[in-house]
Amino acid sequence: MRTDIAHTIRLKDYLPPAWLVETVHLDVSLHPSETRVRAKLAFKPNPESASAPLVLDGDGLSLMSLKLDGAPLPAANFVASPNQLTIPQPPNGPFTLEIETLVDPSANTQLSGLYRSSDTYCTQCEAEGFRRITYFPDRPDVMAVYTTRIEADRQEAPVLLANGNLVDSGALDNGRHYAVWHDPHPKPSYLFAMVGGDLACVEDSFRTMSGRDVTLRIYVEHGKQDRCAYAMDSLKRSMRWDEEAFGREYDLDIFMIVAVSDFNMGAMENKGLNVFNDKYVLASAETATDADFAHIEAVIAHEYFHNWTGNRITCRDWFQLCLKEGLTVFRDHEFSSDMRSRPVKRISDVRNLRAAQFIEDSGPLAHPVRPEAYKEINNFYTTTIYEKGAEVVRMVHTLLGPEKFRAGMDLYFQRHDGEAATVEQFIQCFADVTGRDIAQFMLWYSQAGTPRVTVSTHHDAAAGTYALSLKQAVPPTPNQPTKSPMVIPLVTGLIGPDGRDLPLVLADGGVVRRGVLVLHEAEWTFTFTGITERPVLSINRGFSAPIELVTDLSNDDLAFLAAHDSDPFNRWQALQTISMRLLIENVASIRAGKAPRSDDKLMVALAALLENPALEPAFVALALVPPGEGDIAREIGSDIDPDAIFQARTALRREIGTRLGAALSTLYERLTVPGGYTPDATSAGRRALRNVALDLMAAGGDASAITWAARQYDAADNMTDRMAALATLALHGGPEGERALADFYSRFEGDALVIDKWFSLQATIPQADTLDKVRALTKHAAFSFGNPNRVRALIGAFAMSNVTQFNRADGAGYDFLAETLLALDPKNPQVAARMATAFRTWRTLEEGRRGKAEAALKRIKEGGELSRDLADIVERALA
């Protein structure tokens, strides 16, 4: 466990490195517990900085030997500890250092650095894992050319991989063999990777836009080759798309993906050698849902896109993490939109943004897209850096339009290729192609918190004017009590009584390009002319800005938008807003001991969706799902009673199920997907709607829905339908649910990724006995605290997705998480810290729960010697 006292790293203290590394020659002899690493590093002084001692980072290292320019360095000339190697008086000019360290991959349960997953040796170096392999200036602005020689027992590890191209390989004595890989592209240490193991491989190839053939390989456990086809197809489509959409071509002769089962995050973009959580590679109709297929496509694309946004142009320091992550998420969102339905993708992305980022941004863990300080960088791989970071790039796109945006991106690639860049340098490229000033826009990177925009409107029929008054406010967040007004691009339409968009003509002669109104001030009124009849306002179309919007639209106006808006996002949003108003009123009623009311107009609007053949099924499926419990809580803001929220939402689902029952059952029978399973978006949309219909019928208490679900469960030829039926049965089916859960386990026993679905489903059942079941499942043979996917599937699902049971009034949910985190932290601090973010909303709870959550957090804090990761989250949560 880490015992060093955490100190705060600040952006304002950034200094360029005193020493640069030109080349790295690694020679790694793999052994389960004693892997020998010889690193030969060519240092040169940085001409841009003053001379200074050589200080190299380490983390838990044992130094075996050290040579400078070929000669052993006398002990008096250096200081080595597990966490640092210092040479107080290095030579004045370039020199080489040969460092020999010994590492134990089998003992590495943190899964950072060199570790073993099943029997495969693999590495994870982002953010600071390379220093667990050898001493190094482990910071992204030190970029070097790497040559990696790996040697291993041929039986144990017939496959030996590293970044770049294979340049040599051969046999050695004693049954060992070696491979040498060379990566010509200078890169920071966090992009280093190597793999050794007994793996199967699926191979394909891709011809780039300039006609070069690239070998594509996906390495998986033996026997899993038949689950790689979708990942390979996604990779080829990503490579083509990046050429077409951004003019970016791949730059090595080979691109490899290795799937491992023990992985802290989703995947990692190491140059030429992406390492993936196998969850984002392996899929077949029988084992993966439509959502899994969509995630695989997105993550494969994301990591591939990093080759340009992240690898060719990397980050100067970790404060700039959003430079690569926000931009790459924006790119993968665009890719998925082009591969699938753009409106459906946008609605799902916004749903996720609200459910995760808006919640983070409104609590104690809120931080700017570019933070100014951190104690543990691994805790900043957050939804704010990734998803809000992507929204900020999307706003640049919206403000500039597609052509100027592309010109700015081209300039960025041209100007900064091969560099470690900053957010300012990125945004400056857009300023340079447009001549605009960027100072105010930069607030999106420096100010945390979700802006709240309040809208009021006034139509003057006699004058033919329509006034749109906007007010913005950004709430206080940790260390940022006051805020300045932001630049907010609001794509807007005024819809006439015939349902068509009216021309937008500003009274002051200003022009509205592409429907984008830009709010710069704290308050502003836009006045439109030529508006004789009262229009209905559609604002923040496509969710053009990541804000909370408060409008004076009536429910009738919203119902009109739901039926007529040309913007599909706002059609969806209008229904969500009507539902949200009802839910909030009903939560208050329930807490006052009164019955929830129903809303006829909402039911009429929802019924109209079901009868409209012009709508995509996937869109209708999204529109039928009421706002989530987390969204409702965020909207209420304080004194949260999760049980009342759950009851209000359940009542609404029941009402939809009963009032629309006939239409839902017609839909269910009509929407069968003909032919065998294919994961394409159109058939996935039909399955989604059919399964939402089934679940709503069951929620409405329709007994035949249980019969249908049981039949669907047994007959399913794909995991989407089987899992949806299982969820409906487990939630509403009583003994049928028990039977199906047992059957599911025996069908898929041994298939860990599928059993994760079984863990998650049971952990998210909103019933009083769930906590006991979760506790029992932690003892189940298929569960392991050592595997992050298992921990997230069971513990993560319970703490993050089971709002009523995690927030039990007796505090037992908090106690369970506290004990679990204290046990997990010594093994895997990154995963423990991630799970601890489940406490991020504790201050908004009603008094009783608030006290219990606080006590649990304090118990963790005082629970012993915490990792820097967990201590940081707990301290910020309590601050």
Residues designated as active site? 303
Q: Between the CA of residue 389 and those of 327, 328, 392, 671, 869, what are the distances in Å? A: 7, 9, 5, 38, 22
129 versus 811: smaller Cβ distance to ligand ARG: 129
Rounded least distance, CB 274 to Zn ion, Å? 11
Q: How far apart are CA 463 and CA 459, in angstroms?
A: 9
**Contact yes or no for 1/826 (Cβ under 8 A):** yes
Q: How far apart are CA 584 and CA 223, in angstroms?
A: 51
Q: Applying CB under 6 A, which of residues 27, 98, 126, 262 lies at the interface with ligand ARG? A: 126
Asked, as a colleague might, if the bond just before 127 is cis with ω within 30 of 0, I would say yes
Options 89-97, 326-334, 448-456, 737-745: segment touching Zn ion (CB under 5 A): 326-334
Rounded least distance, CB 9 to ligand ARG, Å? 15
Q: What are phi and psi of 496, to 5 degrees?
A: -75, 170
What part of residues 67-106 is at the interface with Zn ion (CB under 5 A)? none
Alpha-carbon 226 to chain mean position: 27
Q: How far apart are CA 383 and CA 351, in angstroms?
A: 13
Residue 218: how many CB atoms within 10 A of its CB? 28
306 versus 346: smaller Cβ distance to ligand ARG: 306
Residue at token pair 């780039």:
208
Q: Applying CB under 6 A, which of residues 20, 37, 61, 127 lies at the interface with ligand ARG? A: 127
- The one-letter code for the residue type at 653 is R
Helix (DSSP H) and strand (DSSP E) numbers for the chain: 29, 31
**Site map 782..821 versus Zn ion, x via CB under 5 A:** ----------------------------------------
264 versus 307: smaller Cβ distance to ligand ARG: 264
- The one-letter code for the residue type at 9 is I
Residue 378 interacts, among Zn ion, ligand ARG, none and using kind-specific CB cut-offs from 5 to 8 Å, with: ligand ARG
| Sign of the four-CA dihedral 722, 727, 729, 735 | positive
Q: Pick the closest to residue 845 from 645, 638, 643 (CA basis).
A: 638
Q: How far apart are CA 673 and CA 686, in angstroms?
A: 7
Q: Pick the closest to residue 267 from 290, 297, 228 (CA basis).
A: 297
Q: Is 281 in the site for ligand ARG (CB under 6 A)?
A: no
**Site map 775..814 versus ligand ARG, x via CB under 6 A:** ----------------------------------------
Rounded least distance, CB 321 to ligand ARG, Å? 9
Q: Is 269 in the site for ligand ARG (CB under 6 A)?
A: yes
Size of the site for ligand ARG (CB under 6 A): 13
Residue 126 interacts, among ligand ARG, Zn ion, none and using kind-specific CB cut-offs from 5 to 8 Å, with: ligand ARG
Q: Applying CB under 6 A, which of residues 264, 382, 428, 586 lies at the interface with ligand ARG? A: 264
Q: How far apart are CA 359 and CA 634, in angstroms?
A: 7
**Site map 554..593 versus ligand ARG, x via CB under 6 A:** ----------------------------------------
35 versus 378: smaller Cβ distance to ligand ARG: 378
**Site map 288..327 versus ligand ARG, x via CB under 6 A:** --------------xx--x------------------x--
Provide DSSP, 189-203: GGG--EEEE--EEEE
421 versus 504: smaller Cβ distance to ligand ARG: 421
CB neighbours of 62 closer than 8 A, spacing ≥ 6?
A: 82, 101, 102, 103
What part of residues 518-557 is at the interface with ligand ARG (CB under 6 A)? none
Q: How far apart are CA 663 and CA 692, in angstroms?
A: 12
Q: Is 275 in the site for ligand ARG (CB under 6 A)?
A: no
CB neighbours of 68 closer than 8 A, spacing ≥ 6?
A: 77, 87, 90, 91, 95, 96, 97, 98
Residue 318 interacts, among ligand ARG, Zn ion, none and using kind-specific CB cut-offs from 5 to 8 Å, with: none
Provide DSSP, 742-759: HHHHHHHTT-HHHHHHHH
Provide DSSP, 111-177: -SEEEEETTEEEEE-TTTTGGGTS-B--STT--EEEEEEEEEETTT-SEEEESSEEEEEEE-STTEE
Q: Applying CB under 6 A, which of residues 37, 68, 161, 265 lies at the interface with ligand ARG? A: 265
Q: Is 382 in the site for ligand ARG (CB under 6 A)?
A: no
Rounded least distance, CB 262 to ligand ARG, Å? 13
111 versus 624: smaller Cβ distance to ligand ARG: 111
Options 48-56, 328-336, 408-416, 833-841: segment touching Zn ion (CB under 5 A): 328-336
Rounded least distance, CB 581 to ligand ARG, Å? 37
- The one-letter code for the residue type at 157 is A
Options 201-209, 265-273, 362-370, 429-437: segment touching ligand ARG (CB under 6 A): 265-273
221 versus 303: smaller Cβ distance to ligand ARG: 303
Q: Applying CB under 6 A, which of residues 216, 268, 313, 323 lies at the interface with ligand ARG? A: 268
Q: How far apart are CA 828 and CA 787, in angstroms?
A: 9
Q: Is 869 in the site for ligand ARG (CB under 6 A)?
A: no
Q: Pick the closest to residue 114 from 36, 12, 170 (CA basis).
A: 36
Options 194-202, 320-328, 394-402, 790-798: segment touching Zn ion (CB under 5 A): 320-328
Rounded least distance, CB 830 to ligand ARG, Å? 6
Options 289-297, 323-331, 738-746, 747-755: segment touching Zn ion (CB under 5 A): 323-331
Residues contributing to the site for ligand ARG (CB under 6 A): 126-127, 264-265, 268-269, 302-303, 306, 325, 378, 381, 830
Residues contributing to the site for Zn ion (CB under 5 A): 325, 328
